[in-house]
Amino acid sequence: MTRAVVVGGSIAGLLAAAALAGAFDEVLVLERDRLGADEGFRPGVPQARHVHGMLLRGAQAVERLLPGMQEELRADGAAVVDMGEQLLVSNQGQVTPPQTLGLPLQLFSRNFLETRMRDRVKALPGVTVQDAMSVTGLCAAQDGGRITGVTALADGESDASAEVIDADLVVDASGRTSRAADWLGALGYPAPDEVVVDAGQSYVTAWLDRHDALSDTGGGVYEIGQNMAHGRGGVGVAIQGSQVQVLLFGRGADQPSTDPAEFRAQARRLGSATITALAEAVGPGTPIYTYAKLINRRRLYHRMPRWPERFVVVGDGLCMFNPVYGQGMTVAAMQAEDLRTGAAGLLRDPGRTRALQRRLARRTSVPWLLATAQDSRWTERPSLLSPFCDWLLERMVTRIAGSRQLHKAFLQILQLLRPTALANPRALYALLRPRPTHRTEGEPAERPFGGSSWRRDHTSGDQGSPERTVE
């Protein structure tokens, strides 16, 4: 009888359990919070109140791990939209013209997804999800070189009541509050090196009933025109149940407020008529939430001088991204696929554990680069790639309206589908071609945001004018 223990019952833990179900006789998921049958919020996932996105690469992985998941979500009210048609990129109110790109995206809240995913995973043979159970440490063989299980404590019990749960594999998927480094330290392992990039951003999300401002898109709008210059932006998205989420993010003096009047004023500064119209519906009775932990943190477990057999770390406990980029759930899904591939081999040869942990770390490399190359420009130690990434992003944002190929390549990169999407000759030409030198009478010398190909949002809005390395 083989058993895997997964620490944490959120998205990363559920996907890890789905990945391991075919290789182990029993998969036990231990979740610290009490889990209800509804979609209510819980203490362990404070970010669930905010806009969430499963990128296309992640949605593909989830569908392989849990076939039919997308259709189940659609049947329960989570629409599938084409990103080019119904989730539009906006540059201070000038939006990309709608066009079919063949990039389907499903829109939902975090809890809507998690409750349905939990039901699917609990129905898998051999999988048990046990809530109100906190893992307090790792159990190991005498030399500490092989993990043999965990110690766990039921909610409300004293430390003396902790029980030992044997396991042939332990997966830490406990997220941002992971204590894996402490658990390993108690077994004599050195602390892992850690890299932190903190742009000082925070965000605020308001929840509304369905709003006419999104009727033109049917999906949402992502306003990024002032992100490079000021570190602020916004998202308006229609999710399940005729609900709309409006998110504003910013840094320093631009950090958004939960005060409705200030929220509306900050939305107007972005210059997007859609975001402005949505924000105007925010009033004293509107549910509105803030979240300030928008940091990037990478724990370099894969570089530790030694690593125990039968223990791996996945999800935010391994690498945490600024949620503004929406990468966390997708990276967790990709890592779950790696777990599925490597699980049977670990049972035969536990010595492969370190190679698997390194593979899981590699999954974070491209998302980490995309997030930190942008965020590090607000720190005391900007990445050497920041100037190039700024130029590249600005070039793409200002030109995607005039090129379907560049628009698609831009989204494929952000959705972690094809990091090399700009190798498409037509996309590359649209990116690099010189701007026209001639202009018609009355036309400005250089059209803003890619010229007349951009579609001006239908009403006007007011426009607004430190990396830490721990080693």
pLDDT digits (tens, 9 = 90+) for 119-157: 999 999 999 999 999 999 999 998 899 999 999 999 888
- Record the tokens describing residue 356, joined without a space: 């698997």
Question: Does 204 share its domain with 282?
Answer: yes
Q: Which residues, including other chains, have CB under 8 Å from residue 93's CB and lie 6 or more apart?
A: 223, 225, 270, 271, 272, 273, 456, 457, 460, 461, 463
Question: Is the residue at 72 inside a domain?
Answer: no
For 210, the domain range is: 80-109+197-291
Instruction: Verify that 346 and 215 share a domain, yes or no.
Output: no
Q: Other CB atoms closer than 10 Å to residue 377's CB: what's the count?
A: 19
The verdict on 89 and 125 lying in the same domain is no
Give the confidence band of 436 by pLDDT, cuts at 50, 70, 90: low
CA end-to-end span of the chain: 41
Do 417 and 431 belong together in one domain? yes
Sign of CA dihedral 180, 185, 189, 194: positive
Q: State both tokens at 250.
A: 């910013």
pLDDT digits (tens, 9 = 90+) for 58-73: 999 999 999 999 999 9
Is position 461 within any domain? no
Q: 428 lies in a domain?
A: yes
Q: What proportion of the chain, given as a percentage, has pLDDT over 70?
A: 91
Per-residue model confidence (pLDDT) at position 454: 44
Count how many domains the chain has: 3
Greater model confidence, 157 or 448: 157
Q: What is the CATH number of the domain that holds 268?
A: 3.30.9
Asked whether the beta carbons of 448 and 363 are under 8 A apart, the reply is no
Q: Which of the listed residues 244, 265, 291 is the one where a domain comes to its end?
A: 291
CA quadruple 344, 347, 348, 354: dihedral positive or negative?
positive
pTM summary value? 0.90
**Do 47 and 87 reside in the same domain of the chain?**
no
471, part of any domain = no
Angle at 163 between CA 158 and CA 164, to 5 degrees: 150
**Please, which pLDDT band fits residue 203 given cuts at 50, 70 and 90?**
very high
